[in-house]
Amino acid sequence: MKETRDSVRDIWGQRTPYLGEWPQRVDEVTVEEPEHWVQSCCVLCSNGCAKDIGVRDGKIVGVRGRAVDRVNKGRLGPKGLHGWNANNSPDRLTRPLIRHNGKLEETSWDEAMDALVRHSKELIDRTKGLGIGIYSTGQLFLEEYYTLAVVGKAGIGTPHMDGNTRLCTATAGQALMETFGSDGQPGSYTDLDTTEAVFNIGHNMAEQQTVLWTRILDRRAGPNPPRIVDIDPRKTFSAKEADIDLVPREGTNLAVMNGILNLIIQAGHIDTDYINKHTVGFEQLKATVSKWTPERVEQVADIAQDRLRQAAEILGNARSLVSTVLQGVYQSNQATATACQVNNMHLIRGLIGKPGSGVYQMNGQPTAQNTRETGCDGAMPGFRNWHNIEHIKDLARLWNVEVDEIPHWSPPTHAMQIFRYAETGSIKLLWIIATNPAVSLPDLDRIRKLLRNEKLFVVVQDAFMTETTELADLVLPAALWGEKTGCFTNVDRTCHVSHKAIDPPGEAKSDLDIFLDYARRMEFKDKDGAPLIKWNDPEGAFEAWKECSKGRPCDYSGMSYAKLSSGSGIQWPCNEEHPDGAEHIYTDGVFNTDPGYCETWGHDLETGAAVAEGVYRASDPQGRAWLKAGDYQPPHEEPDEDYPLWLTTGRTVYHFHTRTKTARSKELNEAAPDAWVEIHPKDAEKYGISDGDMVEVASRRGRAYAPAKVGEIIKQGHIFMPFHYGYWDHPGRLRAANELTMTIWDPVSKQPSFKYSAVRIRKSEPGEVPEAMGEAPRARHELMP
Amino acid sequence: MHIADHVGQLVQSEKSLAAALESVAAAHKDEPDVRELCKLFAKWSRAHVEALKPVQERYGEEVVEQLSARFVGPRKGAYGLLQDLADLIALAQQTRLKWMLLNLAGMGLRDKEIEEACATLGGETGRQLNWLETRIEDGATQTLVAAN
């Protein structure tokens, strides 16, 4: 193996200090000398690191970062350098599987699709499509999402379309909509090159977007380093690098943000002119936060008053600021209200739409941005407003269908509600695509029961057998990244193309081909009797998407495969006005809040109640942004006598999600082979737990067992478990963090709250640890031929 | 003057609403959003009853037995939830109307305390109603067309 650096041992690699420009540094790992290189981009986090795939003898033999790209300038992280090994795994699914007499057996594509089509047609007949749910992902390509969106909304006619992006990024999109009128990140990664301060809240960037973190480390190593403020209940790598790190009690993010904004407003670190010209609601915001004195914040959130003041000093005085937000906010109590406070902080300081300043409401997944754009995840395509009939008519014209075909009587059904309908029986066909809910949803015991129900026809489309395929009635083998062509977009709106480098194994097909095949067999037609889907390859889908996005905020109309293949990724909006993409949006302080243009009329941030169209129109924002604020409410479950500790969950740098891919890379798997429980030394002492002991963690939902890691990394009164560890490679121990978590979600974004559960902990007895799932998942080669 | 009567009716309406909300939260506890929001709103309504005590002390306390909007649940299943939400909406609408009328009286009386209470607490009733309407609309089509 040739590698330019050991990214497992040294996650961020050598420093290349920022000196006027972020230098290039090409990272590369190959196991053999490639015959040729194919342009691509990484799909193992949302950073969007461009890389070339090395190919030899029809196999992927390595990767190399693209020096020319604006996002990474050649750098790759440990997952980017090693995750590709999963493509070559002998465990790959190569044939469809269908359940006969309780067992999954190999079958032909014709038989598999017949079953899917039969069930679909029957349900469309009986329930006009309302009996069908589609639960997809943040890992497909843009062309696949757009095709699926049209299939779902205009073909099947179901409102039940969402993805696992609900679990990771729904709050990002929602907060942007509530404040700015539509989704769309107001910021670019290049802002990090000049910014005076960085604010990370609930975002362990050092482990989550390692290459973006590298950009910050290189600034810190150069002249005029930015100051860093970090908020996290754990002493992560990100927190350790910060100048001020606040370590709040679980569930109190909004109290902390309200406290920070209160101090900033009191100190007068606001741009009154900008507030008056470009925002609505300042007096209400001021009144809401005025109650949150440092004393009160200390009492509720357990943050020392002087620490809060120091944080507010940095954030209030910086002349430019980049703020990043992720799961510590999105998967926790009052997610949307907290995320909006970050937006508000930038607005009242006038730090939006200018170089060096930006808000990154982040995604965790590599192509999650695209589900938000194409309407696969609970938005409407092109950031359109489901509640604005003109927008629906727009789509009806574009797709040449009757307006009423497109569901618009309610917002698209959110993921937890889709699963609830599946549980109670009004959804009878659940099509799960490129995701593993049997490990990643909360309260796994409930999810397993629900998926096992014989009355529910479960279709799972994936590249490997997983804990979820074990419960499927039909399994469709899918191609992975590198085996298909398509585009995807990262957090700072940069779109990259990934070209097909090798063929998928066996009879596995790209998700796009599966959707196109489905649409043909279902005979989906437009108003004139022509096929509803008018394209039959990725580039065709991309061109169709361009038309859909034209004139909307996420405008791709100026992009093309040719342009994307000629160097760096390109940001949207990319159109006549910005032929090479735009670094910043809202540069003139005019936001997307106009009633005819906006993506939503907005919601009550504390209850989630929708604002009525009439009320919104009467408010007449005239292009100004909304300073929406909520007051603190305690979390839905808090520690008590029976369950005295907080459980929070999160990730490790070496794994992606449920490790379907990353555990099939030797380097990554060896770096982090098993789950663990982080516990503070004082709590460990109290419960008689030593480092390395197998412990039982129990909640009202279930139990999980993992070895203890005693240390001050986690706040006292809290424990941490990574959420990646399921059972496909280790059925012998009940260990998934989501055995413990709650079925509850943010009232506005509907994102589940993984970050707080009340638990108890004890050292387990030898021999007591139960097996998982009752039945071990089987590797592909053990299945019936 | 019928202030005492009217406030009595408002208090009774809030009490009925609170009890109904608590009942719905318990009966539909497997719908987490219904459970949590109804529990929260019940707390609001109970707090409204407390907050009206000074007004009752000033203008007299009349106890009212029965108002027209009533909660006839709790009922079971998706369709049961739809009907329970409809009952809650009727109770919340009734409550909000009584706040609006009390506000008009307060303006005539030049009673700043009444006006302030109607703005804040009546405003909360409006927010309860907004959520209930949002929630019933979100689930109605699925229940009426596809549920068993």
| Chain B interface includes A430 (CB < 8 A) | no
Query: Inter-chain contact B141–A424, Cβ cutoff 8 Å?
Result: no
Which residue shows structure tokens 């005239």?
A622
Beta A694-698 vs A703-710: how paired, if at all? antiparallel
Kind plus residue range of the DSSP H or E element containing A65: strand A59-65
Q: Does A127 touch chain B (CB under 8 A)?
A: yes
**Minimal Cβ distance to A409: which of B77, B141, B148:** B141
Q: Scanning the structure block, which residue is given the tokens 């994307």?
A: A564
CA atoms within 13 A on the CB side of A97: 33
Q: Do B130 and A633 touch (CB under 8 A)?
A: no
- Environment class of A623 (CB within 10 Å of its CB; exposed 0-12, middle 13-18, buried 19+): middle
Residue keyed to tokens 């992927």 = A60
* DSSP letter assigned to residue A168: T
- The CA distance from B93 to the nearest CA of chain A, in Å, is 15
pLDDT recorded at residue A775: 40
Q: How far is B1 from chain A (nearest CA, A)?
A: 35
Q: Which residues of chain B are within 8 Å of residue A427 when distances are taken between CB atoms?
A: 146
CA distance to A84, A461, A652, B48, per residue, from A662 (Å): 8, 18, 11, 54
* Those residues with Cβ within 8 angstroms of residue A388's Cβ, 6 or more apart along the chain or in another chain: A595, A596, A598, A613
Pair of tokens at residue A279? 């925002």
Six token digits for residue A469 = 């395929």
- Residue B131 to residue A159, Cβ atoms within 8 A: no
Print the SS3 string covering A721-780.
Answer: EECCCCCCCCCCCCCCHHHCCCCCECCCCCCECCCCEEEEEEECCCCCCCCCCCCCCCCH
Report DSSP letters for A360-406, one per residue. Answer: EE--SSTTHHHHHHHTSSSSBTTTB-TT-HHHHHHHHHHHT--GGGS
DSSP code of A612?
Answer: P
Q: Which of B120, B133, B142, B145 to mutate to test the interface with A (most CBs of A within 10 A)?
A: B142
Cβ-Cβ contacts under 8 Å, A430 against chain B: none
Within 8 A of A745 by CB-CB distance, chain B residues are: 32-33
Distance CA A494, CA A360 (A): 13
How far is residue A379's CA from residue A173's CA, in Å, rounded to a whole number?
9
Q: pTM of this prediction?
A: 0.96
Tell me how far apart the alpha carbons of residues A96 and B51 are, in angstroms, rounded to a whole number.
Answer: 64
Question: A614 at the B interface (CB within 8 A)?
Answer: no
Residue A289, Cβ density class (10 Å: 0-12 exposed, 13-18 middle, ≥19 buried):
buried
Question: How far from A517 is each of A141, A154, A378, CA to CA, in Å?
Answer: 17, 16, 24
Nearest Cβ partner of B134 from A159, A426, A609?
Answer: A609
SS (H, E, C) B95-117: HHHHHHHHHHHHHHHCCHHHHHH
B76, B138, B143, best to mutate vs chain A, most A CBs in 10 Å: B138
Residue A778's pLDDT is 39
pLDDT of residue A1: 87
What's the pLDDT score for residue A785?
33
Tens of pLDDT, residue by residue over B86-122, are 999 999 999 999 999 999 999 999 999 999 999 999 9
What CA–CA distance (Å, rounded) separates A204 from A100?
Answer: 45
Q: Which residues of A touch B131 (CB under 8 A)?
A: 604, 607-609
- Residue A496 pairs with which residues in a beta bridge? A488
Identify the segments of chain A with pLDDT beneath 50. 774-785
What 3-state class would DSSP assign to A3?
Answer: strand
Q: Looking at this protein, which amino acid is placed at residue A147?
A: T
Q: What residues in B contact A700, CB-CB < 8 Å? A: none
> What local confidence, expressed as pLDDT, does residue A765 receive?
87
Alpha helices in A68-203 (DSSP H): 78-82, 109-127, 142-150, 170-180
Q: What is the pLDDT of residue B82?
A: 98
Choose the closest CB to B37 out of A127, A128, A747. Answer: A747
Nearest in space to A184 (alpha carbons), one of A25, A462, A372: A372
Please state at what angle helix A305-317 crosses helix A294-301, rounded to 10 degrees.
Answer: 120
- CA A111, chain centre distance (Å): 34
Is A159 in contact with B141 (Cβ distance < 8 A)? yes
For helices A253-266 and A294-301, angle between their N-to-C axes, nearest 10 degrees = 170
Query: Is residue A699 classed as helix, strand or coil in its secondary structure?
Result: coil
Residue A188, C-beta contacts closer than 8 angstroms, at least 6 positions apart: A358, A492, A493, A571, A583, A584
Q: Which of A413, A426, A745 sits opposite B147 (nearest CB)?
A: A426
Return the pLDDT at A774. Answer: 43
Instruction: Return the pLDDT at A253.
Output: 98
Residue of A160, A413, A424 for testing the chain B interface, max B β-carbons within 10 Å: A424
Assembly ipTM: 0.96
Q: List all residues 6 or more positions away from A122 whose beta carbon is below 8 Å from its beta carbon.
A: none
pLDDT of residue B65: 79
What pLDDT shows up at residue A66?
98
Q: In angstroms, rounded to a whole number, what is the distance separating the alpha carbons of residues A748 and A177?
A: 11
A426 has a chain B CB within 8 A of its CB = yes
List A residues 190-219 in contact with B (Cβ-Cβ < 8 A): none
Q: What is the pLDDT of residues A222-243, one digit of tens each?
A: 999 999 999 999 999 999 999 9
Q: What CA–CA distances, in Å, run from A545 to A511, A536, A539, A556, A558?
A: 17, 13, 10, 8, 12
Q: Which of A6, A40, A17, A143 is nearest to A502 (CA)?
A: A40
Q: Please give the DSSP secondary-structure letter assigned to residue A605.
A: T
Q: Among residues A434, A457, A437, which one has the least CA distance to residue A446? A: A437
Residues B36, A636: C-beta atoms closer than 8 Å = yes
Determine whether the interchain pair A130/B145 forms a contact, defined as Cβ–Cβ distance below 8 Å.
yes
pLDDT score recorded for residue A772: 63
- CA dist B31 and A423 (Å) reads 11
Q: Do B146 and A427 touch (CB under 8 A)?
A: yes
Tokens in use for A773? Answer: 């799932």
Amino acid identity at A42: C
Q: Which residues pair with A360 in a beta bridge?
A: A324
Kind of pairing, strands A28-30 and A59-65? Answer: antiparallel
The token pair at A76 is: 């790759």
- Residue A197 and residue A228 in contact, taking contact as beta carbons nearer than 8 Å: yes
Omega of the bond leading into A573 within 30 degrees of 0 (cis): yes
Q: Which residues of A604-622 are buried (b: 16+ CB within 10 A; e: fewer)?
A: bbbbbbbbeeeebeebebe
Give me the residues paired with residue A134 across strands: A161, A431
Omega before residue B74 within 30° of 0, cis:
yes
